Structure formats: C-alpha cells, structure tokens
C-alpha cells in the first residue's frame, strides 16, 4: 500500500445481512486532487462513503486516513482528523438559518470531544468561526441567502448549504455525495469552480460521487467506476470514456 | 424450598398480569409506532367500570367483566386508535405528551368520581385453595395465570398464523406496501388497538382485587409492565410475557427478605423500573425498534423587538410592586416564580434539543433535600448552600442522560419515567430524603436586608429571571446551535467532528442544576417537607403533568415557562373546589391532548383560530436521536 496524504480504502467489504453491498474495493483519494467515484444506482457508492466516514462498520478491509488506520474509530474522531462529507439525503438543521447551519460545520469541529468547547469559545475562535462561515458562504455562492431559514430553500440551494457546512468545517478530505443534483446549469458551473478552488488554494482532497457525467469529466483527475459492489475500472476521464466495460455497465450489455 | 414457594406462586400470579398488560402494550406499539403511556390508565378505567357494575350495582361478576373487557376495552381502543392516527405525523415528544394527556384525563376522571382513597375491590374469583406438593395455591391465582397465558398464547398464535396477524406484522414493516396490496393499514391498526386495550382492561380487573382500587396506584402498577416490555425489546411478545412473570416472582421474593417499615421497603415495587432503567441504559444503540421521525412546521407569534422590550419592563415593574398588590397571597406568587425556574429547566431540554424528561421533579426533590442537609445539617451560609444544592443534582442529571446518549426520544422518555418512579418509590423512603418519619426543613434567606416573605419572593423572582436569561443565551449560543443540530441532524454534527454524547450530557446537567436550585428554593419557601406531602409534590405523576402544562404554554423559552407557572400555580390558588386537583389533571391532560391532535403546537392551534398573519411558520427540532445507521444513505 502506497503511503499517501489523504484517504485510502484497502480491500473494503460491506455486508447488509447476507447481502454483499461492497466487495473487496480498494482506492485512494489523495489530497490535492479531485477523485471521482461513479457507477449505476445500487453500485455501492453511498455504502462506501458510509464506511469511510464510520457510519457503517465494514466486514473486512481498512480505511486509512493520512496513512493511519481509522477503521475502528467513531464518526466524530475521523472528522476530527480531517474527513468531512455531505449527504445525498441531506442532513440540515431545519430550525436554523443558512448561516447558522454553515457555522455548525465549524462549531462542530471546534466543539470536538472537549466539554468546555461545546459551551464556550474564546474571542479569537469566535471571530475565526465567523470568518470561516463567511468564506464558505461566499465560496459556495450562497452569501445572499445567509439569513434565510433553511426551510425556504430549493433542493439545489440546500445542497450548497451542505457543501458550505463541510467547507466551513475545514476538512482536508471532503466526501461529496451527489452534490450537484438539483442544481441548475449556472450553479453546477460555479460548483465545479468551487471544487477546483478548494483543491488549488487549500490543498484539499475531494472524493466525488456524481451522476452528472459532464461535471465529473470536467473536474476529476482520476475516476473509479463501481458496479455491483466491485471496482470495475479506474483511470483518467479519457480512459473511462473509452472503456467498453464502463459503457456496458451504464447502458447494459446490449450496448 | 417450601418457604419460598408461596412467594413464587404469588409472584407468578401478579407477574402473569404484568406480562398480559405488557403484551397488549407491545402489540399497539409495534403496529402503530405510538407508545401508549396511558396503557395503565386504560386498565384502571376498566377496573372502575367493573367496580361500578359489580361492586355498586351488583351486576353478576361475569357480566360485569364481559362489559369492562369486551365492550369498554374495545371502545376505548377505537378512541385511542383515532388519537394515534391524529398524532402519527407529529414529533415523538408531542406523541408522548399526547398519551400522557390521555393518562391524566382518565386518572383525573377516576379520582373526581371516586376520590383518591383506595376502594376495596371485590375478589370475584373463587377464594379456595388447593395443595400441590405441599404448596397452597389459590384458585384465583390459578385462574389468573391460566387466563393470562391463554390470552397471550392466543395473541402469539394469532400474530403468527392468522391473516390479520400477518397484516399486523406487515404494517410494522411497510404500511405503504400493505396499502398497495389492498389491506388498509388503518383497519389493521384499529384491530391492534382494540386487542391491546382488551388486554389492558383484563389486566386491570385481574390486578384490582390484589391491590384495591386506586386510580394512580393502578395506573402506575400496570405501568410496571414497561419493565417487562423493555426486556422484550418492545417487540417480542413471548419474551415480554416471560419477563413479566420473572419480574413478578423476583419482586415477591424480595418482599420476603426486605421486611416492611424499612428504608428498602420500596424495592419490590420499584423493581420493574429498576429493570426498565437499566435495560435502557445498558442496551446498545440499535437494540430497540425506531421509526422515522417526522418534522412538522408549527407557527409562532412574531413579536416586534420594541414590544418585547416594553413587555420586559412591564414584567419587571409588576414583579417589584407585586408584594404590595397581592398581600397575603404572596407565597403563591413566590411558588410560581420557583415553578418558572422548573419550567425553564424543562423547556431547555424539550424545546432546544427535543429531549423529554419525565422526572424533572425528581431533580427538584434531590435539590431540596440536599439544601436542607447543607443549611440545617452542615450550617453552610444560605447562598452558598443554594448553589451547592444545584451542583449536587448535576451528577444525577448526567446519570439520567446516559440513555439519551444512545437511544432515541421515546426510550429516553421511558428511562426518565423509570428513573423518576424508581427514586420516588425507593429513595424517597430513605432517611436522607423524606423517609422514616424524616422531615426536611430549610430557612428563608436572611442577609443584607433580604428577609421575610418579601425577601423570599424577590430572591425567587431574580432566580427565575436569571434562568430565563440563561435559557435565552444558551439557545442563541454555540451550545444552542449544537443542540438544535443534535435534534435535527445528529449525523451532520458527527461528520463535522462534534461528539454528540457530550452535548447531550451538558444540557441535562444544566437542566438538572436549575431544577436543583428550584428545589432548594421550594424547601425554603414551605419551610418543612415530610414524606407524605413531598411524595405528592415531587411525584412522577406531577412531573408528567408539568410536561403537559409546558406543551400547552407554547414553544417560547421566555413566555412559555411564565404562562405555564401561572396556569399550574397561580390560577388554581384562586379556585376553591374539593376536586380541584382532579379537574386540573383533566384540563391539563385534555388540552395537551387536543393540541397534539391539532398539529402539535398551541401556536398552530391559536393561529388557526385567529387566522392572523402575526403567526410565522417555524420548524420544531425533531426529537433527538442518535440512530446514525438507519438514517443515511439511500
């Protein structure tokens, strides 16, 4: 196994009862690059994500973060080590405004496991939190929505709030689960730019599960293709486009 | 062996009744997802019907039993099903409040009609005994066990092999699918409620001869079934029944070893709650069935900031001049100020993070007794003892929050309920609290010009104002956002690095601290508290009444505790009526139930009535949970 900064999955197998959802999958999402994870519905993408962030315990296999085995760590410990994520089924706080939702990303990170930090932050951290929230709102293009209640937003806008929360949280590796579904064309363009900005300016690593192929092909440097829980193919966008196996997985064997 | 045998026989008989009641409870919970806190009240109501027919009007017992179990039970079941359907869409905190409302209405009606004294209940089953291997067994005991076993075995077989039983199991898993397949989930649920309430009614008339007829006692004793239901994971009917018998036997065996009039005299009757609390505390997450939480928008009154400022000034001026206005009634207002603090401590849990505490007055009682030990016992200065009394309750709050760490809203409510009754039955009897003729007393404040009834009032009013201020600050602070996040999207907190366990424990500790301070003030106000009086003041029944009053008072952290204290303390003090406490129970329970059925918030109900545009749509935090696995992914 190569030592890389970022996320490495090694021989991951996840079972739901007797059903094998993900079987012996290995891949790497290093920092400083956008990695794509694609595959038809039910291929095991979200399951893989859940195993990475600790919401699911794999049957076998390891999850490595910056070379360290985090397979047995609870969700919040992995997040404290720099693993952030968004959800396909969004997890927003409905009773708060957009700004409060985004700042929860930063505040959860600083609260961590220290009781006192749940209750109180020093002046410096409070200012830093406001700055981080403002920047995340701006990067994700939702600064003008900051004071709206989350309840009033469209699906696409809610996705951006989720992204902004993960960005404000400051994770070095971001797992994004179908972040562009519900976005219009302009928003998707902007979204792609935001991802590249994060990689370029912050040195983040991004693992992107996405159905919008043009977005995936445009922003990802390397793409892994999952099908029926196994790794079918991996390569650059051009290689993936040319692959017969990938086309068959997506369009059926008749193609 | 033979010396234990009578206890085992008696234990099996009462245990079978608990098991019977618990099986009915599990059936309704499984199929509807609504946990019926009023299950025991249904049993009590059936027993009263039986008593009215057989004991008062001398109807033959067979007919009376048939009417209470086969007519009254099903009718109540139909009513409860309607209510369950109405509240199916609200958050589980509101669902709990709704069934607690039913409980209060039923016990209120019973006590208004029959009084709070225990009525001797006729033993209608044959009296004689027979001997098996040197052990005397009563025919009544044999019949009780046979009836219970037959009923539960019948239910199990029905669930397993009949078509309706199969549909009931299906409705648990996927009601939409059942609907598509041509069976109506509503009628399947209705059948479950009818059967469940029949079981409750049957357990009520079987249990009453052993206990006598006492609405509260009977309601809570059937609630003993909660312990058995917890062992059965609120899911497994045979295991639940077996656990009921096991708890019955062990409880009886303890009575052999623990004689009466001792501080542990409450141990047998608190055993089911010991079981309930520890099963919930020690279970791993994912052990119990949980359901999808519902979010529902509710409406709040938008008050402009200028108006708010005026209101605060008016309130402050009123408080300053109140002693001069109300004269001899001042202690009532002092008590109301203390209850404002108690309601704030409760609102902090319910309104910010959707966590329910059904044992808030247990915290208050512990604060009161600690205060007494610190001032009268250790001779500490008044103010220091007050703060220390609050701090002493903090670890208790932390212990109670343990189930909150891993379990969803309903099970937390159950654990706090179990804890409340446990302390009430067991620890209240200890010498350190109110037991063994023990009497706790405390003095009123007397320092730098603050003394007497007025001084007491101002101290309580300042504490109330500070607790409201604290609640508002917490709600707007980082902790407040974390709590709201915890309620709405706990997974999001975790994936950003927050350890949600800590957030939960912190808010419980703060709430317990406030309740402890209120307890200390309460004892200082009343001067002395002895066992019997404080039993009622600090009982779990009173705790759950507080929750319904708070539900009626609305969702604001500022206005709701004040409105609740006025409704709970001040208004009743101006009414003289022999049955006042019963009528209040009915009024509070009924209103809370009505609000739950009409959308879960008094603001929503009022906005419908007034159709005013001043009501703004907001969202309630859903009841807190930490069931990470089932909620994410597709």
The secondary structure element, H or E, covering residue B426 is none
Give the predicted TM-score (pTM) of the model. Answer: 0.87
For chain B, the residue count is 634
Q: What DSSP letter does each residue of A29-77 carry, written as one string?
A: EETTSEEEEE-STTSSHHHHHHHHHTSS--SEEEEEETTEE-TTS-HHH
A94 at the B interface (CB within 8 A)? yes
Q: What is the pLDDT of residue B2?
A: 67
CA distance, residue A4 to nearest chain B CA (Å): 22
Q: Do B478 and A53 touch (CB under 8 A)?
A: no
Terminal CA-CA length for chain B: 58
For chain B, give the mean pLDDT: 81
Q: What is the pLDDT of residue B510?
A: 94
The secondary structure element, H or E, covering residue B530 is strand B528-530
| C-beta separation of A97 from B485 below 8 A | no
Least confident of A179-188, B116-125, B271-280, B493-502: B116-125
B484 → closest Cβ in A47, A96, A114: A96
Q: Do B619 and A95 touch (CB under 8 A)?
A: yes
Residues in chain B with CB shorter than 8 Å from the CB of A103 are: 481
| C-beta separation of B376 from B382 below 8 A | no
- For the CA atoms of B282, B287, B289, B291, the dihedral, rounded to the nearest 10 degrees, stands at 80
| C-beta separation of B443 from B451 below 8 A | no
A73 at the B interface (CB within 8 A)? no
Q: What is the pLDDT of residues B273-317, one digit of tens each?
A: 788 888 877 776 555 555 545 455 566 667 788 888 899 999 999
Kindly tell me if the per-residue pLDDT of B561 is higher than 90: yes
Highest mean pLDDT of the ranges B396-405, B469-478, B623-632: B469-478
Higher pLDDT, B532 or B135: B135
Cα(A77)–Cα(B447) distance, rounded to whole angstroms? 50
Kindly tell me if the per-residue pLDDT of B164 is higher than 70: yes
Highest mean pLDDT of the ranges A73-77, A189-193, B512-516: B512-516
Least confident of A48-57, B232-241, B407-416: B407-416
Q: What is the pLDDT of residues B511-555, one digit of tens each?
A: 999 999 999 999 888 877 766 556 677 888 889 999 999 988 888
| C-beta separation of A101 from A149 below 8 A | no
CA distance, residue B288 to nearest chain A CA (Å): 17
ipTM, 2 dp: 0.89
Please report which confidence band the pLDDT of residue A131 belongs to, taking 50, 70 and 90 as the band edges: very high
**Comparing C-alpha atoms, which of B478, B477, B377, B418 is closest to residue B271?**
B418
Domains and CATH numbers, chain B: 5-282 (1.10.3470), 328-621 (no CATH)
CA distance, residue B309 to nearest chain A CA (Å): 23
CA distance, residue A69 to nearest chain B CA (Å): 17
Kindly tell me if the per-residue pLDDT of B624 is higher than 50: no
Q: Do A169 and B497 touch (CB under 8 A)?
A: yes
Strands A173-177 and B297-301: unpaired
Q: What is the pLDDT of residue B345?
A: 95
Question: Strand pairing partners for B297?
Answer: B619
Question: What is the token pair recorded at B381?
Answer: 């200065």
**Comparing C-alpha atoms, which of B226, B259, B257 is closest to residue B243?**
B226
Percentage of residues in chain B having pLDDT higher than 90:
19
Q: What is the pLDDT of residue B474?
A: 93
Q: What is the mean pLDDT of residues A65-80?
A: 89
Cα(B344)–Cα(A27) distance, rounded to whole angstroms? 52
Q: What is the mean pLDDT of residues B420-449?
A: 75
Buried b / exposed e along B526-563 (16+ C-beta atoms within 10 A)? beebebeebbeebbbbbbbbbbbbbbbbbbbbbbbbbb
Please report which confidence band the pLDDT of residue A35 belongs to, taking 50, 70 and 90 as the band edges: very high
């Amino acid at each position: 196994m190569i030592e890389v900064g970022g996320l490495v999955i090694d021989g991951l197998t996840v079972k739901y009862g007797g059903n094998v959802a993900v079987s012996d999958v290995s891949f790497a999402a290093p920092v400083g690059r956008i990695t794509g994870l694609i595959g038809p519905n039910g291929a095991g993408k979200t399951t893989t994500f859940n195993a990475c962030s600790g919401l699911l315990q794999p049957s076998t296999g390891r999850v490595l973060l910056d070379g360290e085995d985090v397979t047995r760590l609870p969700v919040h410990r992995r997040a404290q080590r720099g693993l952030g994520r968004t959800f396909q089924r969004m997890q927003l706080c409905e009773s708060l405004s957009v700004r409060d939702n985004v700042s929860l990303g930063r505040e959860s990170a600083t609260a961590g496991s220290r009781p006192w930090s749940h209750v109180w932050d020093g002046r410096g951290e409070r200012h830093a939190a406001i700055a981080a929230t403002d920047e995340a709102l701006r990067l994700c293009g939702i600064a003008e929505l900051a004071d709206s209640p989350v309840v009033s937003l469209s699906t696409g806008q809610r996705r951006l709030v989720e992204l902004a929360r993960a960005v404000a949280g400051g994770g070095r590796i971001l797992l994004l689960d179908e972040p562009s579904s519900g976005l219009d064309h302009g928003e998707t363009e902007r979204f792609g730019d935001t991802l590249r900005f994060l990689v370029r300016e912050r040195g983040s690593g991004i693992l992107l599960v996405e159905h919008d192929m043009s977005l995936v092909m445009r922003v990802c440097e390397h793409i892994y293709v999952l099908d029926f829980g196994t790794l079918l193919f991996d390569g650059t966008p051009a290689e993936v486009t040319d692959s017969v196996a990938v086309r068959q997985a997506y369009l059926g064997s008749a193609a | 062996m033979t010396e234990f045998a009578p206890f085992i026989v008696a234990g099996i008989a009462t245990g079978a009744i608990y098991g019977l009641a618990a099986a009915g409870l599990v059936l309704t919970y499984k199929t509807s997802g609504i946990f019926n806190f009023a299950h025991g009240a249904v049993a009590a109501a059936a027993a009263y019907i039986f008593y009215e027919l057989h004991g008062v009007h001398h109807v033959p017992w067979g007919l009376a039993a048939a009417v209470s179990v086969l007519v009254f039970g099903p009718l109540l079941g139909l009513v409860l099903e309607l209510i369950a359907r109405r509240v199916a869409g609200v958050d589980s905190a509101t669902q709990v409040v709704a069934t607690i409302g039913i409980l209060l209405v039923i016990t209120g009606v019973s006590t208004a009609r029959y009084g709070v004294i225990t009525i001797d209940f006729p033993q209608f089953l044959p009296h004689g005994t027979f001997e098996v291997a040197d052990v005397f067994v009563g025919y009544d005991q044999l019949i009780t066990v046979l009836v219970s076993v037959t009923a539960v075995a019948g239910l199990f077989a029905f669930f397993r092999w009949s078509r309706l039983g199969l549909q009931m199991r299906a409705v648990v898993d996927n009601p939409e699918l059942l609907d598509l397949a041509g069976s109506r989930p509503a009628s399947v649920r209705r059948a479950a409620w009818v059967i469940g309430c029949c079981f409750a009614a049957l357990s009520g008339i079987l249990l009453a001869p052993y206990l006598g007829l006492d609405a509260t006692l009977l309601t809570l004793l059937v609630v003993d079934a909660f312990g058995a239901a917890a062992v059965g994971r609120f899911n497994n009917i045979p295991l639940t029944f077996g656990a009921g018998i096991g708890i019955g036997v062990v409880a009886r065996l303890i009575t052999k070893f623990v004689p009466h009039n001792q501080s542990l005299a409450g141990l047998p009757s608190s055993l089911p709650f010991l079981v309930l609390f520890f099963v919930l505390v020690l279970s791993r997450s994912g052990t119990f069935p949980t359901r999808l939480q519902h979010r529902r928008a509710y409406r709040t009154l938008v008050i402009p900031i200028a108006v708010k400022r005026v209101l605060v000034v008016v309130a402050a001026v009123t408080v300053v001049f109140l002693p001069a206005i109300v004269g001899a009634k001042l202690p009532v207002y002092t008590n109301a100020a203390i209850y404002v603090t108690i309601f704030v401590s409760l609102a902090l849990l319910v309104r910010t993070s959707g966590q329910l505490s059904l044992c808030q007055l247990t915290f208050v009682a512990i604060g009161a007794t600690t205060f007494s030990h610190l001032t009268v016992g250790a001779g500490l200065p008044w103010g220091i003892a007050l703060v220390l009394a609050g701090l002493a309750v903090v670890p208790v709050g932390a212990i109670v929050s343990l189930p909150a760490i891993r379990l969803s809203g309903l099970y937390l409510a159950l654990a706090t309920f179990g804890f409340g009754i446990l302390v009430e039955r067991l620890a209240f009897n200890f010498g350190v609290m109110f037991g063994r003729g023990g009497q706790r007393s405390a003095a009123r404040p007397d320092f730098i010009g603050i003394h007497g009834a007025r001084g007491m009032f101002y101290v309580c009013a300042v504490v109330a104002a500070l607790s409201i201020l604290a609640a508002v600050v917490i709600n707007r602070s980082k902790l407040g956002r974390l709590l709201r996040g915890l309620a709405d999207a706990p997974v999001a907190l975790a994936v950003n690095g927050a350890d949600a366990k800590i957030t939960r424990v912190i808010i419980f500790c703060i709430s317990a601290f406030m309740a402890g301070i209120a307890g200390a003030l309460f004892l200082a106000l009343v001067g002395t508290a002895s066992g019997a009086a404080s039993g009622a003041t600090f009982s779990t029944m009173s705790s759950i009444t507080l929750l319904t009053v708070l539900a009626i008072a609305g969702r604001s952290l500022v206005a709701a505790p004040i409105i609740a204290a006025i409704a709970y303390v001040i208004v009743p003090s101006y009414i003289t009526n022999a049955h006042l406490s019963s009528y209040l129970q009915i009024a509070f329970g009924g209103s809370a139930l009505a609000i739950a059925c009409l959308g879960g918030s008094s603001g929503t109900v009022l906005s419908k009535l007034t159709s005013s545009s001043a009501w703004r749509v907001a969202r309630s935090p859903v009841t807190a949970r930490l069931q990470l696995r089932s909620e994410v992914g597709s």
